[in-house]
Amino acid sequence: MKLRLVLFLIAAALAATVAGSVGASTASACNTSYWNLGCQFYSPHEGHTGTDLCCSADEAVNSTFDTFDTVEAIMTTAGGTWEDKVLLYYDDTWYTVVTHAGSDKVGCYNHHTGTMFVNCRHFDW
């Protein structure tokens, strides 16, 4: 009986260690200062955008993701009207020039019919 209890406690401790290390690696992969537009699951036809970081019209979008082989990089007006889009492949970057610096938004959009995990960031170039 004691041997079963000891084995159970060892197995429970091992499971807790593995679960803790998986959570830590996922959290470090989702560095929100780097992935500033999303590090999360995107539902079908969900997107996240951010306004120009400063005063430059030169914006770039970079993304990594799972499940599908592409994600859409998009540019919208401040009101949400789409101005441009391009397909991004894994860890690809779209360099673009926004029409209205300081108010246009760029970001990522899940154009698929299934949920996908997306890391998305925008930056001036």
Tell me what pLDDT residue 1 has: 54
pLDDT tens by residue, 63-81: 999 999 999 999 999 898 9
Task: Of 29, 32, 31, 36, give the one whose Cα is nearest residue 60.
Answer: 36
Alpha carbons 36 and 48: distance in angstroms, whole number? 10
pTM assigned to the model: 0.75
What pLDDT, in 10s, does the model give residues 31-60?
888 999 989 999 999 999 998 767 788 999
Q: How confident is the model at residue 101 (pLDDT cuts 50, 70, 90)?
A: confident
Residues 6 or more apart from 107 whose CB is under 8 A from it? 37, 38, 47, 48, 49, 50, 61, 73, 74, 76, 120, 122
